[in-house]
A and B are shown apart, each in its own frame.
Chain A
């Protein structure tokens, strides 16, 4: 008769663990980690995780957990240099990173327009996004980041729903070498081939996709 009790106990333990982890992640987001240096994410990234454009703080809501976890590890190692995030990432434990990134992935992403490659392209940003600049080996942005830049898997983050300030800052960081945490320099070589006008235009384009949707 002891047979059925074990699986039940196992399931109960698992449920408890999952609940505890989810609660932890949410708590880290709103109140910070166990180490006081791991400040609450929501202070800068917004209560809903949608970021704060003026400060250049990106949206985190809806980002794949694997992507966010890698960024935190890269802040620690310095392959993604950032004076604000480096000490915070260093103060988070591995378990806390796992919990908070899972919580982020579960937060709802903003509604986004999935503009695909078939659409007509108007303006420098949209031309780069949907047609690329192949004479400089720059593929269409959406060829990797998905229609409308919604993001693909754990390695190609969403561009839509990010502010132009944040997107431009990342492209600049790749150009200057302060961000070099992309697989096989896939993004770095593109950023270094982009013109200043393209950096601004592409940032404005993807930031604008969300606004378009929100105003409808």
Chain B
């Protein structure tokens, strides 16, 4: 009887939260096995100037525009101040910065963890739900079609089903004595605040975000891959400060990533029965290094922010 009631309850809750349905519930990180010998070039995506002047070229261009200025071209699906290209630098072209040519040819992807096959559309819907803290566009929507066309075009000539070198953010080993949030705060003030603001709030020109918010209401939510300190450290080491990637040490990248991800941000949309602890156990306990549901300075993180 109890089980029946729970099931009914779950159905009711699920029904009332249709808009928040989870498109890709497994957001855990990919393994990185691909490597290349020194001197061997990364995959080279095609040049924009070589796009054909036809409907295909137009759709690709529209996908690129959505990708670099998601705020403007897919506004209804975005719930924060981010653009796709904030995490996928150089318009999704750059090796070691999660380029689209490294992702597209790997779908549909099988995840052993939940015995599911996810389509590329579902993967992008996941980005909208977590990294963009928004509403996923329908799989057959113009936004998903255009982003798919852009990804497909960037992957021109790439092998399918084969991990390409440069597809991820290169892993950075954790500091010998662990990460240090206090050191991260110092590094943030010296290296990051000039663009992202004293309190991680980002910076706007007029009412348009130019530098993305790193925590708080307008940033990615607790379900986004970037909430993992190891993922953020890898991204930061490779690409931050913008144009000066590689200038921070691996340890510095970890410290500042930990500082960034020790702040509150919007709730994980997969929240289990309203419980941070249950959500932590189900989705965060075995997902890299993260502070969701952990106590920092006496406060449990993962409460979310409206």
| A and B interact physically | yes
Which positions 163-180 of chain A face chain B at CB distance < 8 Å? none
- On whether the beta carbons of A139 and B194 are closer than 8 Å, the reply is no
Could you say which of A2-10, A72-80, A182-190, A200-208 contacts chain B?
A182-190
- On whether the beta carbons of B65 and A184 are closer than 8 Å, the reply is no
A167 to chain B, nearest CB (A): 18
- On whether the beta carbons of A152 and B241 are closer than 8 Å, the reply is no
Does residue B205 face the partner (Cβ distance < 8 Å to A)? yes
Chain A residues near B227 (CB-CB < 8 A): none
**Range for the number of chain B residues in contact with chain A:** 20 to 34
Which positions 50-79 of chain B face chain A at CB distance < 8 Å? 61, 64-66, 68-69, 72-73
Chain A residues near B176 (CB-CB < 8 A): none
Most buried by B among A118, A139, A190: A118
Could you say which of A12-20, A39-47, A81-89, A129-137 contacts chain B?
A129-137
Could you say which of B3-11, B13-21, B85-93 contacts chain A?
B85-93
- On whether the beta carbons of B243 and A152 are closer than 8 Å, the reply is no
B201 to chain A, nearest CB (A): 11
- On whether the beta carbons of B72 and A118 are closer than 8 Å, the reply is yes
Residue of B nearest to A155 (CB): B194
Tell me the complex Cα distance, A25–B165, Å: 58
Checking B68, B94, B203, B241 against A118 with a beta-carbon cut-off of 8 angstroms, the contacting residue is B68
Does residue A138 face the partner (Cβ distance < 8 Å to B)? yes
B146 to chain A, nearest CB (A): 11
Which positions 147-161 of chain A face chain B at CB distance < 8 Å? 147, 150-153, 155-156
A132-B90, A143-B242, A146-B210 known; A118+B73 contact, CB < 8 A: yes
Task: Tell me the count of chain A residues lying within 8 A, CB to CB, of chain B.
Answer: 30
Residue of A nearest to B83 (CB): A117
A118-B72, A143-B210, A152-B210 known; A131+B91 contact, CB < 8 A: yes
Which positions 84-135 of chain A face chain B at CB distance < 8 Å? 114, 116-121, 131-132, 134
- On whether the beta carbons of B91 and A118 are closer than 8 Å, the reply is no
B110 to chain A, nearest CB (A): 33
Chain B residues near A186 (CB-CB < 8 A): 194, 241, 243-244
Which positions 196-239 of chain B face chain A at CB distance < 8 Å? 203-206, 208, 210-211
Tell me the complex Cα distance, A126–B290, Å: 40
Show 7 A/B contacts (Cβ-Cβ < 8 Å), sorted by A.
A117-B68, A143-B210, A144-B242, A147-B205, A147-B210, A152-B205, A184-B241
Task: Give the top 7 A-B pairs by smallest Cβ distance, nearest first.
Answer: A146-B205, A118-B65, A118-B69, A117-B68, A134-B90, A139-B243, A183-B194
- Chain B residues within 8 Å of A, Cβ to Cβ: 48, 61, 64-66, 68-69, 72-73, 85, 89-91, 93-94, 190-191, 194-195, 203-206, 208, 210-211, 241-245
